Every structure is written in structure tokens, then in C-alpha cells.
Amino acid sequence: MTALRWGILATGGIAHAFASDLRVAGRTLAAVGSRRIEAAQEFAAQHGIPRAHGSYEELVNDPDVDIVYIATPHSHHLEGAVLALEHGKHVLIEKPLTLDADEAVAIRDIAAARGLLAMEAMWTRYLPHMVRLRELLEAGAIGEIRALSADHTQSLPTDPAHRLNALELGGGALLDLGVYPVSFAWDILGAPAEIRAVGRLGETGADTEAAISMTHASGAVSSLLTSSRAAGANVAQIVGTAGRVEIDSVWYTPTSFRVYGTDGSVREDYRGEVAGRGMQFQALHAEAAIAEGRADSTLLPLEESVAIMGTLDEIRSQLGVRYPRG
């Protein structure tokens, strides 16, 4: 497989984690771009990246970059992704794909028109325990799936100016954390048929808690919880007619799970070791897709990310959260 040359757009917290994991996986880090040249240079020095650019425009104009990882706040994903796509680069875009479904459609259309890969960096989808879990469920390990529950709760900064709380930066627990259980429900049960959400808003008007109940085409139900102000267990379970799966804390990161029969016996005790934080699997998947001539992910097609943004729009509207331009 020919290695792609990665460009990192933005130098914040997750950009560091991703760059570290790309190195763990022996991928090619070609360049980084920041709004400030000093930040780009510092980032490049830390991760052994040959070129540092003092603007996102310079990064996407770098001829020795094939794919750009977009690591700006959600409010800026559209702008960064469009800039890269218009310069002929593939894009891996941090979750959530965009602020809302309309923005997601815009990315989809530009990527399709140019024949380029645009993929949401919902890294959980690509983790080895999730790959094994899907194999087991498809083989009927727990019979017919009737219900699923998952939470993503963390105690995060309360500063109103922090991107988690600032509406102009797409603040709110749902888009930052709740997107994980929502995407998980989509992965295991498919599109929701009915969506009911209740929650609580913080001082800026961004959601701090949400409890979401959904039904799916098969009739199965999902129950999802998110909070940005208090940390819970962060576990998930899938309940079927012939058994259940318990995914251990922290379910959306590399972890273990067990499959139980209805008699309580353990049918599979999955314990996987991964190098680094685990963000490299999505990058490897993107590289493989492009090497095989596919401009889409098989595990999380762009159309599904667009539809997930639609689900998030509906939940957000029920919660009463409005973004300045949304």
C-alpha cells in the first residue's frame, strides 16, 4: 500500500494526539498548518514533521500533501474541509463532521464532484474491539438485538469561552460527546425511526446534559446519555434475545468486552491491546480506501455521517440549542 502524505490542519489538543498515533503506526507526516507560524513550527518540531506552514491556505497548497486531517473546532470543519477539497486533497474530518446536516451535505457534494475521499474521524468505528463486536453480532452471537445503551459523560471546563461551551464554536455536550453514542446506535441498529431527547442547558445556552431515546427500523430501542459536567462509567451494552454484550469503560476507546449467553455464561472475553491511543486505525482505513480506488469509507460512509448530522440536528432542536448561524 502506498503511504499517503498527511497534512495536519490546526495544532490543538486532538491534533497532537492524532499526530502521535500516526507516528506510532509509521505513517507519513508531511506538513502541519496553523494560523500562527510559531505554533506550526513548535508542533512540527514535537512530531518530527518536515514542513510547518503559517496558514491553512499554505498547508493545502503544499504539493507534497495528499490528505488533510481537519482538527479545528466543529464550527470550522466545513471551512477547513472545503479549502482542502478545493485544492485537491482528501480529508479526514474530526467528529462531528460539521455543525449541522446542511454543512455536511456541502462537504459531501464537493467531495463527490472532485472524486476525493471525505471521511469523519469517528475513530471508535475503526477500533479493533468494534470490528470484532460487529463480526459477532452479524453472526447472531446474541440473537435478535432488542435494546442498546451507551453513555459518554465527562467533567470538562466550565469556562463560557471554552469551545465546549461557546455557541459560536459549536459548544455543547451533544456534538462533542453525545455524537459517540448516537453514532454507535447508528452503527449497531441503523437509522433511528423516532427520536426523543430531553436535557439541560448551561449559562451560554449550550447543552450540558442530554438523555436520548430512539427506536430503529427493527423495532429495537436505544438509550443514550451525555454530560459535559460530570463523569460517569462510560460503558455500553447491547441486549439480544440470546444474550448480551457488555463493553467495558471506556467503551468508545480501545477496551475489552464480554458476550454473555442467557444463562450468564461468558461466550467471548475480548481483550485487545493496541499501540498508542488508537486514533491510527481510522487513518489506516482512509489510506486503504484510497489505495483501493474508493473515495469513501466502508465502515462509516460519508452518507451515514451526513445522516448522523441530521439526527444530531433533531436532538439539538428538541433540546433547544441554536448555533449562531444554524
Ligand X SMILES: NC(=O)c1ccc[n+]([C@@H]2O[C@H](COP(=O)([O-])OP(=O)(O)OC[C@H]3O[C@@H](n4cnc5c(N)ncnc54)[C@H](OP(=O)(O)O)[C@@H]3O)[C@@H](O)[C@H]2O)c1
Q: Indicate the SS3 state at residue 254.
A: coil
For ligand X, the nearest residue by Cβ is 12
Given 28, 34, 204, 227, the residue binding ligand X (CB under 6 A): 34
Residue 255: burial class (beta carbons within 10 Å; 0-12, 13-18, 19+) = buried
Q: Does 207 bind ligand X (CB under 6 A)?
A: no
Q: Which three cell numbers stand for residue 89?
A: 486533497
Given 4, 5, 7, 11, the residue binding ligand X (CB under 6 A): 11
CB contact burial 292-305 (16+ within 10 A = b; e otherwise): eeebbbebbebebb
Stretch that binds ligand X, among 69-77, 129-137, 206-214, 290-298 (CB under 6 A): 69-77
Q: Which three cell numbers stand for residue 212?
A: 436520548
Q: Does 250 bind ligand X (CB under 6 A)?
A: no
Q: Does 73 bind ligand X (CB under 6 A)?
A: yes
Given 71, 130, 167, 195, the residue binding ligand X (CB under 6 A): 71
Given 5, 89, 163, 244, the residue binding ligand X (CB under 6 A): 163
Cβ-based neighbours of 273, under 8 Å, separated by 6 or more = none
Q: Does 94 bind ligand X (CB under 6 A)?
A: yes
Give the pairing of strands 67-70 and 5-9. Answer: parallel
Q: Which three cell numbers stand for residue 287?
A: 489510506
Q: Does 21 bind ligand X (CB under 6 A)?
A: no
Report the residue number, 166 or 212, with the smaller CB distance to ligand X.
Answer: 166
Q: Does 325 bind ligand X (CB under 6 A)?
A: no
Q: Which three cell numbers stand for residue 28?
A: 507519513
Helix (H) or strand (E) holding 281: helix 280-291
**Interface residue list for ligand X (CB under 6 A):** 10-15, 34-36, 39, 71-74, 76, 94-95, 121, 123, 163, 169, 176
